[in-house]
């Protein structure tokens, strides 16, 4: 009995010593900078940066193969910490972006699908059963792939993104076979709520009451040139704002959009929507108004009231906070 115990103890000590020697002999040296950067990264391993995971990104940043702000999930805060570790200038503030679904649902069905209940499987079978070939299939692949629990399915079977949870990792966009997800600024209030690239008559035939019919009223209405109806694939300047190259669908240039919602009010099919809580405060006219009427002439909704050489005021019930009066006032007395 004692001999067996001593033998096992000796073998254990021998193997332990051998493993310790091998650990030192074949140890892979880890750059302390890589470890420090990896500690700062969110650790989601979502792949939004284009690399297999946070460890791979940390190594790339340490080698100078990726910028300090390469992690879209971490945002500005993580980029700042990584810049401090690298001893470089702090990365400039990046505009927070989130995913947005370009579909409101409501189309009729042209068949009954009995296959595997996933969007990818349904899309393989004739592009799905919806009468609109571009609409959401409703099986929630995007919900299952989101690592942040930021997407849920509505009662109408359309994905709804929780902007407070969304980290802009892009996995939902990659997973969706219909490419319904766009990445837009979180502060944006106006959205195109349709992805159909069919012409008006075809959209009407799908029994979709909120589908874009490509009338172009939104483009003609916008006073800032922030929305354009893409009729072909040749307008490169506008297509940069939307790499999916949509056709017969308006594309919003959010660097110009002021969230006024004028295009929304004019859209005949309500294919454009606005989140009211994101609209900025309405302007007021301060002291010093000379009644020049320039603000009134430039207001697209007639919200400025006042006669020539009289003090003007803004009707808050009509005002859409577009800011044209602020821009045009020669006395610069109108402010938000």
Span 176-231, pLDDT tens digits: 999 899 888 888 999 999 988 888 788 877 778 888 888 889 999 999 999 988 77
pLDDT at 147: 87
CB 295 within 8 A of CB 304: yes
- For residue 7, what pLDDT is reported? 66
What residue ranges define each of the domains in the chain, with the CATH number in brackets? 32-86 (1.10.15.40), 95-186 (3.30.70.20), 189-279 (3.30.70.20), 280-336 (3.30.70.20)
Give pLDDT, residue 107: 79
* pTM strictly above 0.85: no
pLDDT of residue 6: 63
Position 120 scores a pLDDT of 92
pLDDT at 257: 92
What residue ranges of the chain have pLDDT lower than 50?
Answer: 233-234, 238, 243
User: 138-171: per-residue pLDDT in tens?
Assistant: 999 999 999 889 999 998 889 999 998 898 888 8
* pLDDT attached to residue 150: 93
């Amino acid at each position: 009995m004692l001999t067996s115990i001593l033998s096992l103890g000796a073998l254990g000590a021998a193997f332990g010593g051998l493993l310790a020697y091998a650990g030192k002999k074949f140890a892979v040296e880890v750059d302390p900078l890589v470890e420090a950067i990896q500690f700062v990264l969110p650790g989601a391993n979502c792949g939004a940066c284009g690399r297999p995971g946070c460890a791979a990104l940390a190594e790339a940043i340490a080698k100078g193969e990726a910028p300090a702000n390469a992690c879209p999930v971490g945002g500005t805060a993580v980029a700042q910490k990584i810049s401090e570790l690298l001893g470089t200038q702090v990365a400039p503030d990046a505009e927070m972006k989130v995913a947005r679904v370009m579909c409101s649902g409501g189309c009729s069905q042209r068949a009954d699908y009995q296959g595997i209940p996933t969007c990818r499987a349904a899309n393989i079978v004739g592009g799905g059963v919806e009468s609109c070939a571009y609409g959401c299939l409703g099986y929630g692949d995007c919900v299952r792939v989101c690592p942040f629990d930021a997407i849920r399915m509505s009662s109408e079977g359309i994905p709804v993104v929780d902007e407070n949870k969304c980290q802009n990792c892009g996995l939902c966009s990659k997973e969706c076979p219909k490419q319904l997800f766009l990445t837009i600024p979180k502060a944006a209030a106006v959205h195109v709520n349709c992805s159909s690239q069919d012409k008006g008559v075809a959209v009407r035939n799908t029994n979709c009451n909120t589908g874009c019919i490509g009338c172009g009223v939104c483009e003609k209405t916008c006073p800032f040139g922030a929305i354009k109806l893409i009729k072909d694939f040749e307008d490169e300047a506008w297509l940069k704002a939307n790499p999916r190259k949509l056709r017969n669908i308006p594309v919003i240039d959010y660097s110009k959009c002021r969230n006024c919602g004028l295009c929304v009010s004019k859209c005949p099919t309500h294919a454009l929507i606005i989140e009211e809580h994101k609209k900025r405060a309405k302007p007021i006219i301060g002291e010093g108004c000379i009644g020049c009427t320039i603000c009134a002439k430039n207001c697209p909704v007639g919200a400025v009231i006042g006669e020539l050489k009289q003090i003007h005021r803004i009707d808050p019930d009509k005002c859409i906070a577009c800011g044209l009066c602020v821009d045009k006032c020669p006395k610069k007395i109108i402010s938000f």
